[in-house]
Chain A
Amino acid sequence: MFAYILRRLLYAIPILIGVNLISFALFFVVNTPDDMARMQLGVKRVTPEAIEKWKAERGYDKPLFWNAGAAGVEKATETIFFDKSARMFIGEFGRAEDGRDIRREIRTRMGPSLAIALPTFILGLFAAISCALTLAFFRATRFDFWGVVLCVTMMSVSSLFYIIGGQYLVAKVWQWVPISGYSGGLDAWRFLILPVLIGVLAGLGSSTRWYRTLFLEEIAKDYVRTARAKGLSEALVMSRHVLRNALIPILTGVVVVIPSLFMGSLLIESFFGIPGLGSYTIDAILAQDFSVVRAMVFIGSVLYIIGLILTDISYTWVDPRIRFQ
């Protein structure tokens, strides 16, 4: 058990190295720093001097992998790869284009992101499981059929429309909540309630349909027949036997995203003007701020890998077959 988790942790190292290499290749090998400088500076201001200055300011004036001109260890450390990629392992992400420290920025923006993502995640999971269980309970009836049709329709609507439509109706036409913005403290709920509800609604269709299939798969199994043969009521069969077994794939399937909740939601945060990591990422993409994007790629991968490890742990926690082996 312990050895298993330790092995998963060790496995994370080569994966992180892989992620690092991929993003390094994307950011520095496909295009040279000169290309980036030219793009950032714009066509008009491009002079060789300006490019050199731009590169020197950001530390892009070193060789990519191997600094033949330096001495000793510095042959490896005085390089872009070491500066920009290897240092991320110790949490040094450098500065954004606007000169701010990325690490500090991330730390302050995590809170608002989590304030939206966590309630959305929990409410969404709860709502989807309840809806799916209801549909499974009424399986093969008209209610079930139209429920599935509704789910398919809901998942066919782009999340952009949920956000734009919801914001227009609730905030602009009915004026129940502010259109956008954020404030710390207890007052935050006024700003949070609409984005959270929209987030829940946008994901409801597909997850309900997916969980319903899982429930139906469980219902078809032999042990459910045994449970019925015991004389249990259908509600008890569903809650005690079907739900319990179907929760194994559901829970272990969602555990992987829990750490990534820190990353926030790109769309919702940018539409509602929430100063979280999601909107930070979007702003960086729009401003073509490579340092920030690179940092977010790294953090995202780390969180995903933590999610994978949590998944393994949760398996051993909810499934006795794995717990005892």
Chain B
Amino acid sequence: MNFQMVVLWSDICVALLLAGLIGLAVFSARRPLLRAAWGRVGASRPGMAAATILVFFALVGLLDSLHYRPRLENAGDGKAVYSVEVLSALDALASPLRERVEKTYSAPFAAHSYSRESIEIEDADGQKRQGRDFPRLTYGGAHLQTDADGKLSGRAADIAARVLLAFAAAAGVWVMAASAVVYALARRQARTLESPEIPWRQTLREIGQGKTVFAWNSVLAAFGVLLLVLMPLFFLCADYHVFGTDKVGTDVFYQVLKSIRTALVIGLVATLVTMPLALILGLLAGYFRGWIDDLVQYLYTTLNSIPGVLLIAASIMMMQVVIDTHPHWFSTAAERADLRLLALCFILGLTSWTSLCRLLRGETLKLRELEYIQAAQAFGVPSWRIMARHLAPNLMHIIVITLAMDFSSLVLAEAVLSYIGIGVDPLMISFGTMIDNARMELSRDPAVWWSLSAAFAFMLALVLSANLLADAVRDAFDPRLVR
């Protein structure tokens, strides 16, 4: 074994979430009402386009959740010694990006550094002298030749050629994917119609005109756009810093990719805390009323009354003290950063369960007066069973809608909190820390815009997709809109 598996706590949470998602899918498939609701989500054009983009983000996040420690080469005595650096599968795949670190800033596609340095310049007469100039980058555009007067030659042509190649590859992949979809659909169509002929043309036309029930056209369109963006990046990132490098020379594209997992973990793991707390307390308060209700209401009014940011700040500060005073708990820096990430999720969950709880309590108060609850009471069905069988399933839509809506606000909150310094560990790459590091860069001259822009673009893509999908989910699940 030349690596050692490392399972971080957040990896366990990600696995739990994945299991939960699969569980929800299986559960929904068995329940016709839920299946119909998800079917409506599937029919939503913007929703499915957003979901396609989110699948890309989720894949990156999942790859980034398989952690290991590489074995160090120089362990001579046969005893395995592993690096203190914890890497992920994504790191392994993107190791060229991770390892090619320049000295400092460089603009996207640059071959030269952002700032002048004293370097040796060979004069025309062959003499060497000291001078200050923009040095060539160690990796970015290193394959390019300089012509006689020190100018780069053929960079535009090189980039154009690669982009064209990338587009061709994108087209190839897209056509393959599209034909696979058409093939599968046409086969199914033929099977249901029991016709020996497979209706290729018709299926193709239906997808094109958006007449399929599932939003295949928007899935394929979104997939196409995704390919058109990602393929060129993929083809170019091997020899260029496509989004430039930051102050310490790290590739910004790599940072953006690493930020994705942080954002996803923040957006999703907090729900592991929120949901059970809100569901149980909301159900108890709404069903039993009386003093239990008073207590739950008191609890969430009190928690609500503390300004959210300050509560998070206080908790994180205290958490940081705990972490700092117990360095022996953690064998690697990654574990420490991970614990802080989880603590942040936990705290965000603790501060955000109140609104969901209030919604659920209100709905339970309404539902408990419904006649099917009274019918169950007339049979003497025990309270916990009424809550589990009759109330909880009828609250599902609220939970699903709220969690979908909360995701994007949590991702946005992470950025703000990290900026304030109470977010994730400063060493952990996230959109927030990227923005935080880049805060002064715009005032440089010339402005260093790429780090911020890259974070902006990827965050917008993530949050916008999440919002669009959340909208589709809400439209599909909200009974007021459905009926």
Contacts and interface: CB of A to CB of B under 8 A. Distances in A.
Interface of A: 14-15, 18-19, 22-23, 26-27, 30-31, 35-36, 38-39, 152-153, 155-161, 164, 167-168, 172, 179, 260, 263, 266-267, 281-282, 285-286, 288, 290, 293-294, 296-297, 300-301, 304-305, 308
A-B complex: 9 closest residue pairs judged by Cβ atoms: A300-B307, A18-B302, A156-B464, A156-B463, A304-B305, A301-B305, A31-B321, A30-B318, A158-B415
B421 A159 contact: no
Contact of A39 (B324, B408, B412): B324
Interface stretch (B207-215, B216-224, B439-447): B439-447
A38 B326 CA distance: 12
Contacts of B238: none
Contact of A293 (B313, B421, B447, B452): B313
A149 B431 CA distance: 24
Contacts of B460: 153, 156-157
Given A36-B321, A156-B463, A159-B416, A297 B306 contact: yes
B325 interface: yes
B471 interface: yes
Given A168-B447, A263-B307, A288 B419 contact: no
Interface in B414-450: 415-416, 419-422, 431, 435, 439, 442-443, 447
Interface of B: 298, 301-307, 309-311, 313-315, 317-318, 321-322, 324-325, 408, 412, 415-416, 419-422, 431, 435, 439, 442-443, 447, 452, 456, 459-460, 463-464, 466-468, 471
Given A31-B321, A267-B420, A297-B306, 5 more contacts: A22-B306, A26-B318, A158-B459, A161-B456, A281-B313
Given A22-B306, A156-B463, A31 B452 contact: no
B302 A285 contact: no
A15 B305 contact: yes
Specify the main secondary structure of chain A where it touches its partner.
helix
B420 A19 contact: no
Contacts of B439: 164
A158 B415 CA distance: 8
A301 B314 contact: no
A22 B315 CA distance: 10
A301 B307 CA distance: 7
A26 B419 contact: no
A172 B421 CA distance: 25
A152 B307 contact: no
25 contacts: A19-B302, A19-B305, A23-B314, A27-B314, A30-B321, A31-B325, A153-B460, A156-B467, A157-B460, A157-B463, A160-B416, A161-B456, A164-B452, A179-B443, A267-B416, A267-B420, A281-B310, A282-B420, A285-B317, A285-B422, A293-B317, A297-B307, A304-B306, A305-B305, A308-B301
A285 B421 contact: yes
Nearest to A14: B298
Given A31-B321, A164-B452, A172-B442, A260 B419 contact: no
A152 B471 contact: yes
A31 B318 CA distance: 7
Contacts of A172: 442-443
A308 B301 CA distance: 10
A15 B305 CA distance: 8
Contacts of A158: 412, 415-416, 431, 435, 456, 459, 463
A39 B456 CA distance: 35
B307 A27 contact: no
A3 B460 CA distance: 50
A9 B310 CA distance: 24
A296 B412 CA distance: 23
Contacts of A22: 302-303, 306
Contact of B415 (A160, A282, A288): A160
A23 B302 CA distance: 11
Given A168-B442, A285-B420, A285-B421, A15 B302 contact: yes
Contacts of A266: 309, 420
Of B306, B310, B408, the most chain A CB neighbours within 10 A belong to B310
A23 B306 contact: yes
Contacts of A31: 318, 321-322, 325
Given A38-B325, A156-B408, A260 B421 contact: no
Contact of B298 (A15, A39, A156, A161): A15
A15 B456 CA distance: 40
A281 B311 CA distance: 12
